[in-house]
């Protein structure tokens, strides 16, 4: 059975709130209130949740933390559907765009095919690979400018 995409609440953790509190207080004093909203889209095949997307919205951007589709469901467009659902939620919340990071051994081509543009890299993370950063601006579909060479 192909899973459905289900929006669920990610429970807040009291310890996380206590750790983030000083950052939130400082940012608020600088007129940048730190109040992330969590977006969780779960893949549910009727037998339970297995994979999905976890994101945060704050400061007019959505950050996709996790995108995971089990191997048995790959190639069915579920990753694309999860991203499209997340982007729709970001637009509904007035976001400027969405950003994500991945690794050179994972899925940079997937994000590029979805219209995301590279804006940064962290070399040798893990050793011999790169952590790559991609963004999609809703107004132009372009990533913020960076000094990264193409």
If one looks up domain 4-95 in CATH, what number appears?
A: 3.40.630.30
SS in 3 state form for 9-78?
CCCCCHHHHHHHHHHHHHHHHCCCCCCCEEEEEEEECCCCEEEEEEEEEECCEEEEEEEECCHHHCCCCH
pLDDT in tens, the chain (150 residues): 888 898 877 556 677 777 778 888 888 888 887 788 999 999 999 999 999 999 999 999 999 999 999 999 999 999 999 999 999 999 999 999 999 999 999 999 999 999 999 999 999 999 999 999 999 999 855 555 554 443
CATH topology of domain 100-150: Aminopeptidase (3.40.630)
Ranges of each domain in the chain:
4-95, 100-150
The residue among 110, 24, 105, 25 whose CA lies nearest residue 64 is: 110
CATH topology match: 4-95 vs 100-150? yes
> Can you tell me the distance from the alpha carbon of 9 to that of 17, in angstroms, rounded to the nearest whole number?
16
Q: Is the pTM of the predicted complex or chain greater than 0.75?
A: yes
């Amino acid at each position: 059975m192909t899973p459905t995409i289900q929006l669920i609440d990610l429970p807040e953790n009291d310890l996380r709130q206590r750790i983030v509190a000083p950052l939130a207080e400082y940012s608020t004093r600088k007129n940048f209130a730190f109040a992330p909203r969590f977006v969780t889209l779960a893949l549910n095949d009727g037998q339970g949740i297995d994979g999905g997307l976890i994101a945060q919205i704050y400061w007019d951007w959505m950050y996709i933390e996790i995108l995971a589709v089990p191997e048995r469901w790959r190639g069915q467009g579920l990753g694309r559907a999860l991203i499209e659902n997340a982007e729709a939620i970001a637009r509904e919340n007035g976001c400027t765009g969405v950003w994500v990071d991945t690794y050179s051994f994972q899925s940079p081509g997937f994000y590029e095919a979805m219209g995301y543009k590279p804006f940064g890299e962290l070399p040798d993370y893990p050793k011999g690979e790169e952590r790559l950063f991609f963004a999609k601006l809703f107004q132009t579909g372009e990533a913020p400018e960076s000094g990264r060479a193409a």
